[in-house]
Structure 1
Amino acid sequence: MESQEKRWYVLHTYSGYENRVKSNLESRAQSMGMEDYIFRVIVPEETVHQVKDGKAKDIEEKVFPGYVLVEMVMTDRAWYIARNTPGVTGFLGSHGGGSKPTPLQPEEVNRILSWMDDEGPQRTDIDVAVGDHVKVIAGSFANLNGVVTEVDHDNLKLKAEIEMLGRQTTVELGFDQIAAVE
């Protein structure tokens, strides 16, 4: 089943190879004349403020470690090129046996892309503890609810379990990205 509509798909990669997969896929699309089928390849990242050994610095962290987003027209050839790119272990939403993957919903993609374009201000006035329920109000996980599993007051971050892509996932969030659920 080929589609002539460009949609967003999620590639699963070896962790730490996301940028290499992005570069390899872009090169393969160009060298194999597939620019009309493979459009944008994105590795969502966020700037994280870290304090280590008393020194503050901003670093770039992957929002979805082990995943790369690709906008493409799902033809047999484009699918073959993407899934056989070095470092790619498969497509999210593909059930094996030659089945084509399920594309992301437009609202999921819009939420991720708008979050990448506009990150909100830092917020420090929230009091949360392990086990608290929170609602994500900003970022790529906006409008999702989660349960706090870890809190780092010094760095204004926490970890929470949310349901994403059909399974429970631990995500790291800034205090500016959440609101307590009463």
Structure 2
Amino acid sequence: MSEAKWYVVHTYSGYENKVKANIDKTIENRHLEDQILEVRVPMQEVVELKNGVQKASQKKLFPGYVMIHMIMNDDTWYVVRNTRGVTGFVGPGSKPVPLSDEEMMPMGIQQDNVVVDLEVGDTITVLSGAWEGTVGAIQSMNPQKQSLTINVELFGRETPVELSFTEVRKMD
């Protein structure tokens, strides 16, 4: 299994977030979570001065482009390439070229791996977010995304909820 790398995909201008949402949905539907790890639209905080008032807003760092952290193979290439709004991978001809570590440095994307003493079956309590105070057993873990899944009772049925490692604490 080759290692995951960051690739850049060209999209129709203004479709970046839609493409991200479509790829995220496809990953979920086709269970490619272990091959396409993250889809990101790089943003930067910009302070604008309008009518004498300073206003902070988020602007796309690279309009028309989406970054994808994935393991390149025929399946992942096909899924991304055939996503609505994607015009192609960045690279010569039809060959996608991964970004080097040097190119990734200024993007501000660090791999801060959180080391956790959790495993499937452990009982955890949620520390923050919408599910704060919820207690549940870990159903699955995704070390690449730094997340885990627990089942929560919602409208009388068990529903899986994905949480970040930093949002939970192991119960004794």
Q: Does 1:113 align with 2:111?
A: no
Q: What is the identity percentage for the equivalent residue pairs of Structure 1 and Structure 2?
A: 47
1:45 CA drift (Å): 0.5
In structure 2, the partner of 1:52 is 50
1:53 CA drift (Å): 2.0
The secondary structure found in structure 1 opposite 2:108 is helix
Alpha-carbon distance between aligned partners in 1 of 2:77 and 2:92, rounded to the nearest angstrom? 11
**Superimposed CA distance per residue, residues 15-39 of structure 1 (whole angstroms, 9 cap, x where no aligned partner):** 1111111111111011011111100
Alignment of 1:1-182 (within 5 A): 4-96=2-94, 100-114=95-109
**Superimposed CA distance per residue, residues 115-147 of structure 1 (whole angstroms, 9 cap, x where no aligned partner):** 9x9xxxxxxxxxxxxxxxxxxxxxxxxxxxxxx
The secondary structure found in structure 2 opposite 1:81 is helix
Judging changes above 3 Å, is the alpha-carbon distance between structure 1 residues 79 and 94 closer, same or farther for their aligned structure 2 residues?
farther
Alpha-carbon distance between aligned partners in 1 of 2:91 and 2:43, rounded to the nearest angstrom? 22
Alpha-carbon distance between aligned partners in 2 of 1:89 and 1:4, rounded to the nearest angstrom? 25
TM-score, normalised by the number of residues in structure 2: 0.60
AA aligned to 2:105 is N
1:6 CA drift (Å): 0.6
Alpha-carbon distance between aligned partners in 2 of 1:39 and 1:94, rounded to the nearest angstrom? 24
1:94 CA drift (Å): 4.2
Alpha-carbon distance between aligned partners in 2 of 1:15 and 1:56, rounded to the nearest angstrom? 27
User: Where does structure 1 lack aligned partners over 5 or more consecutive residues?
Assistant: 118-182
Across the two proteins, how many residue pairs are aligned to each other? Answer: 111
TM-score, normalised by the number of residues in structure 1: 0.57
1:111 CA drift (Å): 2.5
Alpha-carbon distance between aligned partners in 1 of 2:104 and 2:18, rounded to the nearest angstrom? 22
1:114 CA drift (Å): 4.7
The secondary structure found in structure 1 opposite 2:91 is coil
In structure 2, the partner of 1:151 is none
**Superimposed CA distance per residue, residues 43-68 of structure 1 (whole angstroms, 9 cap, x where no aligned partner):** 11111111112222111100001001
AA aligned to 2:60 is K
